[in-house]
């Protein structure tokens, strides 16, 4: 197959490309330039897609003996991932930019361009597995599964890709036993990125100051910090800078009457208020979500089924009863989902990604709209 290997400049993508070459594919490496600032530099483990990363990607391609190109996707990245990040916080939600990047950039813009150029698939350094099983009609069905190494599993951020893109994707590192093993393989292959630190946090907020980034984009918007009964406790400079579950940085001068810490319970963009309260009010056991993308075609609408759900990229899965709803008022793309959790979870915010699993298999992904307490699990 003709394979387009996404080379980020890190060790994972380099080893993934090497494995694709070793498997006999005709591989071409491409680095995605996502920053509009060509002078952007990496800050230790923060940031990615910088000048240094592009250079490391080129050196990896040279070692592997494959063609290498840089594609400027900065406009698409700014208009989808960055703009979505800012608008979601402005609307009082908490987005996951890695999910959006995988949806709009790595498995949309990159894959679409690759297919237009005659490539059969895109290979990335994500830790996830694609499992082929008989479909009952003489063919095979491709399923997205968790990686062999649970500590590095990235199926959560890949769940949004959808079945059509999954059919054109390759994850050569899905069976890697550990990150240390991948680094050792890179060193054995002569790849200079074998000891390069992993990138983390938000790539376009390289200094880690998310509130400062949002303030630069949204400006000062003073408002009230209130308790669950509406009593004013303090002031804030922008509700967008707060997220559900946050404890620090609330700017309150008076402690609670019982002396216990307060947490953000809700962000209300309509009234520009931040609602705070005690920790027990953070616990929820029913989640409502929409914009669902199903990877499993056999999930029926309107019926409850047992599954596991995961709310954060590195969070633990929770047993839940899940129901796929119909389409919401936004149309067919807004397929709804309801999940009743076996144990309550804390600090769940609108905008977070909810991924449904059956064991190691990913069934689908949805975006949380609301969360509440007190929903009993269904009988049976």
Catalytic residue set: 101, 203
Strand ordering across the sheet containing 223-227: 232-236, 223-227, 273-277, 263-268
| Opening angle at CA 139, ends 148 and 359, nearest 5 | 30
CA distance 191 to 37: 27
Write a three-state SS string for 195-248.
HCCCCECCCCCCCCCHHHHHHHHHCCCCEEEEECCCCEEEEECCHHHCCCCCCC
Q: Any idea what DSSP says for residue 85?
A: H
Backbone angles phi, psi at 92, to 5 degrees: 85, 15
CA distance 9 to 30: 10
Helical H segments across 8-151, by residue range: 11-22, 51-64, 74-77, 83-90, 97-101, 110-116
Backbone angles phi, psi at 350, to 5 degrees: -55, 140
E-strand spans in the chain?
2-6, 26-33, 68-72, 121-123, 128-134, 140-146, 169-170, 223-227, 232-236, 263-268, 273-277, 283-294, 304-310, 318-328, 331-346, 353-358, 361-372
Place of tokens 């019926």: 303
CA distance 238 to 222: 5
User: If we measure between CA atoms, which residue out of 274, 341, 268 comes closest to residue 309?
Assistant: 341
């Amino acid at each position: 197959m003709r394979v387009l290997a996404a080379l980020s400049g890190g060790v994972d993508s380099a080893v993934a490309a090497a494995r694709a070459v070793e498997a006999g594919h005709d591989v071409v490496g491409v680095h995605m330039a996502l920053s509009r600032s060509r002078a952007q530099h990496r800050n230790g483990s923060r940031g990615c897609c910088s000048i240094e990363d592009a250079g490391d990607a080129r050196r990896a391609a040279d070692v592997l003996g494959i063609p290498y190109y840089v594609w400027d996707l900065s406009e698409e990245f700014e208009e989808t991932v960055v703009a979505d990040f800012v608008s979601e916080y402005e609307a009082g939600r908490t987005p996951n930019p890695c999910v959006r990047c995988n949806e709009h950039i790595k498995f949309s813009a990159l894959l679409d361009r690759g297919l237009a150029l005659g490539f059969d698939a895109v290979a990335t350094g994500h830790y996830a597995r694609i499992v082929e099983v008989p479909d009952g009609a003489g063919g095979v069905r491709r399923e997205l599964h968790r990686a062999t190494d649970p500590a590095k599993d990235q199926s959560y951020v890949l769940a949004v890709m959808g079945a059509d893109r999954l059919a054109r994707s390759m994850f050569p590192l899905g069976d890697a036993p550990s990150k240390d093993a991948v680094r050792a393989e890179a060193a054995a292959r002569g790849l200079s990125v074998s000891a390069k630190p992993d990138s983390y946090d938000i790539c376009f907020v390289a200094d880690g100051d998310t509130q400062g980034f949002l303030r630069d984009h949204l400006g000062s918007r003073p408002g009230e910090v209130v308790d669950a009964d509406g009593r004013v406790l303090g002031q804030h400079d922008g509700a967008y800078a707060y997220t559900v579950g946050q404890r620090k940085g609330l700017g309150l001068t008076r402690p609670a009457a019982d002396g216990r810490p307060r947490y953000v319970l809700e962000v209300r963009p309509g009234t520009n208020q931040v609602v705070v309260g005690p920790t027990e009010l953070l616990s929820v056991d029913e989640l409502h979500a929409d914009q669902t993308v199903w990877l499993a075609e056999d999930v029926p609408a309107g019926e409850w089924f047992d599954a596991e759900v995961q709310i954060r990229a590195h969070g633990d899965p929770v047993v839940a009863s899940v129901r796929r709803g119909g389409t919401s008022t936004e149309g067919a793309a807004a397929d709804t989902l309801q999940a009743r959790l076996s144990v309550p979870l804390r600090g769940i915010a609108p905008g977070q990604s909810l991924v449904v699993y059956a064991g190691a298999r990913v069934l689908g992904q949805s975006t949380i709209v609301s969360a509440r307490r007190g929903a009993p699990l269904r009988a049976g």
